[in-house]
Amino acid sequence: MNLAGHFSYWITILLAITGLYIVIARGNLIKKLVGLGIFQTSVYLLYIAPGKLIGGTAPIIDGQFTLYSNPLPHVLILTAIVVGVATLALGLALVVRIREAYGSIEEDEILELDKTGVFPDTTTSKPA
Amino acid sequence: MIAQHFPVLQVVLPLIAAPLMILLRRGTLAWLLAVIVSWTGLFISLSLLAQVADGSVISYAIGSWPPPWGIEYRIDRVNALLLMLVSLIAAVVVIYSRASVAAELPAHQHYLFYTLFSLCLAGLLGISATGDAFNLFVFLEISSLSSYVLIALGRDRRALMASYQYLVMGTIGATFYIIGVGLLYLMTGTLNMADMAHRLSGVTEVRPVLAALAFITVGICLKLALFPLHLWLPNAYAYAPSAVTAFLAATATKVSVYVLLRFYYSIYGESAVFSALPMGKILLLLSLAAMFIASAIAIFQADLKRLFAYSSVAQIGYITLGISFDSATGLTAGIVHLFNHALTKGALFMLLGCFVLRLGRVRFSDIGGIARVMPFTSFGIVLGGLSLIGVPGTVGFISKWYLVLAALESGQWWIALAIVLSSLLAVVYVWRFVEAAYFQEPDAGIAQLKEAPLEMLVPAWLMIAACFYFGLDASLTIDGAAQAAATLLQGLQ
């Protein structure tokens, strides 16, 4: 078992666990999104690290080189990053709306408000 | 000529329509476009279904890049059925949605609603049509992100929290899925499902491949709300606008079931998942837990939308129960219940939307005696409820009949008993509605309500009628499901 040789996987696992832990353990809605972001980032590493070959160059065909790195993981992860950005943006937008509706971004306070608080009139629409 | 591009048009039409709707900026125009797109989509999906009915497979190379290098859309008898189901539900819901959305959302959000609806439709159709594991992830996120927003459009402020929770869990699920696909890509060097299946054959016991299976299973089960990963579902369905609930309840979880089937049967192969691993037993236990626990929770709900949301969790249990038998009959039962439950739940949530239109919400305390003033809506819910219970003559009976057959075939008679017992729990919660709507005196507020408009009742009753049509003459659905099951069991060629 080559521990040092697999260091990129160790970092991936560490990031994934850290991210998931933050999502589960933190009650602050923004911190949860940060955790989610870290969790997603670990996947980027999982894809990109194996695409690199030691001694390989950029995949532009040239007579001098025979060894190329795999470009496909980068392209895939570019897509995944876009998805991650969209998710984070939407999540933050939701937190803004939650703050407007509840006056809090702490999960336990919000759940408490839902249990005991007075609900806004359900027949009128929310502010745009 | 154009017909050869049907596989991609199916997905791309709603995808292109979505930004056009933003440019239109008018609710009515956006709605018209949504109607055109979804009905064209239904026509395309029926044509695709007819093309693959003989067991042939349509392979469409996006941008003419041949698979496995380019992205392939691959239509066989399994996903043609799914495409038809999703398109059908979308076509019916979009007609229904006009009056419902007009009442539940402020006017300046209408065109945005139809934009998101089209995006969500494109995502769900894309998941079903694609033959590329990474492309599937992208469509999964398109459909998920749009459904988070659709849920957050609900009038109650709790819709925001429901949407946020769904966003967190949905993203974890999608990320788990993509970790699984990443591990598979590391091992096989391909993302094309058929190519992946070919390269995995015989080496599925390698550890990263097994880890990938675990990640994909957990990720997709989060999306399909398999017990105990269903926590996002009840609030999301309860607080979303009625049209959204009807659409998502009938399609989103079903498409996720399809993804699970695709990975289990087409990519890993039935023997690698069910013979070498105890996946069947795990699914069986979770399905039984869903059937009993979710049904039992449903009984104690004060809100009808929440009640039927928990009932959805239980019904998903029946679908996965069918899959867990790992037999042709079980798989047929699972697929036919997938179709039948989509019809039933779509109809039920559409009818609940009629109550929401008149009352603003649907708590048991609000609907005492409502059957006197809204007889068609109430009677529709009773009929839909009969289908949930599985009374003979409804589609629910067909599903449960095949589930019981599969249970007896596998020699586990106690599961057949469990199916019947859990149906009794459905009797209890449907009866709660009957008692409130029919046996209570309407108060003054209720007595002055009017029946829901026809443009909402007709689509909902069409679905109820379908519940009975396919309940009395099940040859079409059973044949379709049996052929899909046979295709899955064959694996990808």
CATH assignment of the domain containing A37: 1.10.287.3510
Contact status, residue B255 vs residue B480, Cβ threshold 8 Å: no
- Please answer whether residues B474 and B395 qualify as being in contact, where contact means their C-beta atoms are separated by less than 8 angstroms: yes
Q: Please report the number of interchain residue pairs, chain A to chain B, with beta-carbon separation below 8 angstroms.
A: 87
Query: Residue B311 belongs to what domain range?
Result: 278-493
Long-range contacts at A6-15 (CB < 8 A, ≥ 24 apart):
A8/A45, A8/A49, A8/A50, A9/A46, A9/A49, A11/A42, A11/A45, A12/A42, A12/A43, A12/A45, A12/A46, A12/A49, A13/A42, A14/A42, A15/A39, A15/A41, A15/A42, A15/A45
The helix, strand and coil proportions of chain B, stated in percent and rounded to the nearest 5, come to: 80, 5, 15
The pLDDT value given to residue A112: 86
Q: What is the mean pLDDT of chain B?
A: 90
Residue type, A118: V
pLDDT at A92 over 60: yes
Which run of H or of E encompasses B432?
helix B413-438
Residue among A16, A46, A114 minimizing CB distance to B158: A114
Locate B241 and state its tokens: 């606008």
DSSP A12-51: HHHHHHHHHHHHHH--BHHHHHHHHHHHHHHHHHHHHGGG
Q: Which structural domain range is residue A63 located in?
A: 4-116
Q: Is residue A123 part of a domain?
A: no
| B128 pLDDT tier (thresholds 50, 70, 90) | very high
The pTM is what? 0.92
Give the one of B108, B158, B167 whose C-beta lies nearest to A90's C-beta: B167
Indicate whether A79 belongs to any domain.
yes
**Do the Cβ atoms of B114 and B38 come closer than 8 Å?**
no
Q: Does any domain span residue B363?
A: yes
Is the pLDDT score of A120 beyond 60?
A: no
Q: How far apart are CA B297 and CA B317, in angstroms?
A: 14
Distance CA B400, CA B360 (A): 35
Q: Compute how many other C-beta atoms are within 10 angstroms of the C-beta atom of residue B299.
A: 15
ipTM: 0.89
* Distance (Å, whole) CA B345 – CA B464: 10
Judge whether B469 lies within some domain: yes
Interface test with B, best of A82, A90, A108 (most B CBs within 10 A): A90
Residues facing B192 on adjacent strands: B132
Phi-psi region of B449 (alpha: psi -120 to 50; beta: other; left: phi over 0): beta
Contact criterion met (CB < 8 Å) for A114 and B186: no
Across the interface, which of B145, B164, B171 has its CB nearest the CB of A98?
B164
> Quick check: is A124 in a domain?
no
Which residues have a Cβ under 8 Å from the Cβ of B414 and sit 6 or more positions away? none
What pLDDT, on the 0 to 100 scale, is given for residue A128?
38
Q: What is the mean pLDDT of residues B198-216?
A: 88
Q: Which of B109, B148, B174 sits opposite A90 (nearest CB)?
A: B148
Buried b (16+ CB within 10 A) or exposed e, B452-478: beeebbebbbbbbebbbebbeebeebb
Q: B359 CB near a chain A CB, below 8 Å? A: no
Determine, yes or no, domain membership for A60: yes
B295 contacts: CB under 8 Å, gap ≥ 6: B310, B311, B314, B422, B425, B426, B429
- Residue B352 maps to a domain: yes
- If you average pLDDT over residues B102-131, what whole number do you get? 92
Tell me which chain B residue has its CA closest to the CA of residue A121: B156
| Interchain CB distance below 8 Å, B160 and A97 | yes
How many CA atoms does the CB half-sphere of A85 hold within 13 Å? Answer: 6
CB-CB under 8 Å, B172 with A43 = no
H-helix or E-strand containing A87? helix A72-102
Q: Answer whether residue B79 shows pLDDT above 50.
A: yes
B137 touching chain A per CB within 8 A: yes
The Cα B315–Cα B320 span in angstroms is 9
Q: Please tell me the total count of domains within chain B.
A: 1
B363 and chain A: CB distance < 8 Å anywhere?
A: no
Burial class (CB in 10 A: 0-12, 13-18, 19+), B304: buried
Angstrom distance (rounded) from CA B163 to CA A110: 14
pLDDT tens-digit profile of B344-377? 999 999 999 988 888 888 888 888 888 888 888 8
Give how far A58 is from chain B: nearest CA, Å.
Answer: 18
**Is residue A71 one of the residues assigned to a domain?**
yes
Q: A128 in a domain, yes or no? A: no
Give yes or no for residue B447 having a pLDDT over 50. Answer: yes
| pLDDT grade for B93, boundaries at 50, 70 and 90 | very high
For residue B461, is it within any domain?
yes
CB contact under 8 Å between B134 and A46, yes or no, is no
What CA–CA distance (Å, rounded) separates B74 from B194? 9
Residue B493's pLDDT is 53
- pLDDT band for position A118 (cuts 50, 70, 90): low
Query: What is the number of other CB atoms lying within 10 angstroms of the CB of residue B122?
Result: 25
- Report phi then psi at B476, rounded to 5: -65, -50
Tell me what the mean pLDDT of segment B38-45 comes to.
94
Using an 8 Å CB-CB cutoff, list residues of chain A that contact chain B.
16, 20, 23, 29, 32-33, 36, 39-40, 43, 46-47, 50, 73, 76, 79-80, 83, 86-87, 90-91, 94-95, 97-98, 101-102, 110-111, 114, 119-120, 122-126, 128
How far does the CA of residue B473 sit from the closest CA of chain A (Å)?
A: 43
In a domain? residue B364: yes
A68: pLDDT strictly greater than 90: no
Examine residue A127 and state whether it is found in any structural domain, yes or no.
no
